[in-house]
Amino acid sequence: MNIDEITFYDQMLNYQNVLFLGHRNTDPDAVSSAFALAESFGGTVGVADYCGRVASMLVDQLEIEVVYAPDPSDYDFTVVVDTSTQSQLNDLVLGDYCVIDHHSVSQLIDDASFYLHRLAGSTAEIVVDVLKCMNAPIRERTALALMTGIITDTGHFKHATTGSFRAIADLIDLGGVSYSEALDLLASTPQDISMRTTVLESANRANILKLDDWIFAISESDSFGAAVATALTNIGADISFVGTARDGITKVSGRAKRDAIRCGINLGELMRDIGLEYQGSGGGHAGAAGMEVIGTSGAVLNRCVEESSSILKGVSRN
């Protein structure tokens, strides 16, 4: 059952000892959403395994208490935030749970007791609406955390909607913080030299395919697949797919530019469908998505190219 913010608030009053859980390799959107909800409703912030680079910085700087790889059975109820597939939760077994998410394709909502799911630039924006409708006070560090979630998930407002800007304005008003404080917080993230090296090396060995006037870039990397895929579209590809294979499991990150999306590409749906074909799962947004499957990287990447080519073939971007 998809519910609205006020119904979510009502429902939450039925539960105590709640776990607010973000996806693996957690980002600022997930950890800040879990943190803000835990502050307002009372409960524990958990992440499926560990925090990513930017989220770690946030947790350190704002002194957010996090339980890593928690066991949901230790809690009466789990609120899964910013997460669309079970594979993003690794092997964690959910009991009674609900979902708050903004991804266009979400598989976890199928078995949820209830869910607050709508398209938005970030989960943090939906959380801001929840806090507003319950008239919860928004503390400075909560506001800062949510702002960094919105800034990073919208690619520094590149994919922002009016709702993203409205949520930032609300956080400035209600949280008593300035936008520059959030930017300062993000600027303190150290530049990871191994990530930059991996991105450059993977871009260097990328396979470039042209279909009519569409450019595909396909590559593999040992890590940082999402960063590599983003970099490939930033330097000119219309669509990028990057495979990371380890122990028989292949992860694929995909990115698509606006033109490709306008012409029918929806990577969230594509990753979901191909994920199922290869005994795994996938999902995400039209322009940014991922999957985790059984099989070799090459076969799965070929399948991604084949599927997106069949959509774009003969379609002019003009």
Question: Please, which residue, 20 or 216, has the CB nearer to Mn ion?
Answer: 20
| CB neighbourhood size of 2 (10 A) | 12
State the minimum distance, in angstroms, from the CB of residue 309 to Mn ion: 28
Question: Please, which residue, 28 or 275, has the CB nearer to Mn ion?
Answer: 28
Q: Which two tokens stand for residue 266?
A: 């929806």
Amino acid identity of residue 201, one-letter, is E
Question: Please, which residue, 57 or 218, has the CB nearer to Mn ion?
Answer: 57
Question: Please, which residue, 129 or 153, has the CB nearer to Mn ion?
Answer: 153
Question: Please, which residue, 149 or 280, has the CB nearer to Mn ion?
Answer: 149
Asked whether the CA dihedral 111, 112, 115, 121 is positive or negative, the reply is: negative
Interacting residues with Mn ion (CB under 5 A)? 29, 82, 123, 153
Contact 312, 263 (CB under 8 A): yes
Cα gap 116→214, rounded to integer Å = 36
Question: Please, which residue, 55 or 252, has the CB nearer to Mn ion?
Answer: 55
State the minimum distance, in angstroms, from the CB of residue 233 to Mn ion: 18
Asked whether the CA dihedral 114, 119, 120, 123 is positive or negative, the reply is: positive
Question: Please, which residue, 154 or 221, has the CB nearer to Mn ion?
Answer: 154
Cα gap 58→31, rounded to integer Å = 9
Query: What are the two backbone dihedrals, phi and then psi, of residue 158, each rounded to the nearest 5 degrees?
Result: -65, -35
State the minimum distance, in angstroms, from the CB of residue 97 to Mn ion: 18
CA angle centred on 178, ends 174 and 179, rounded to 5°: 110
Question: Please, which residue, 30 or 57, has the CB nearer to Mn ion?
Answer: 30
Q: Are strands 77-81 and 44-47 parallel, antiparallel or unpaired?
A: unpaired
Ordered strands of the 239-246 beta sheet: 207-211, 214-220, 239-246, 249-256, 288-294, 281-284
Question: CB nearest Mn ion: which residue?
Answer: 29
CA 29 to chain centre: 7
State the minimum distance, in angstroms, from the CB of residue 122 to Mn ion: 5
| Distance from the first to the final alpha carbon of the chain | 40
State the minimum distance, in angstroms, from the CB of residue 124 to Mn ion: 8
State the minimum distance, in angstroms, from the CB of residue 288 to Mn ion: 10
State the minimum distance, in angstroms, from the CB of residue 10 to Mn ion: 25
Cα gap 221→219, rounded to integer Å = 7
Query: What are the two backbone dihedrals, phi and then psi, of residue 22, each rounded to the nearest 5 degrees?
Result: -100, 160
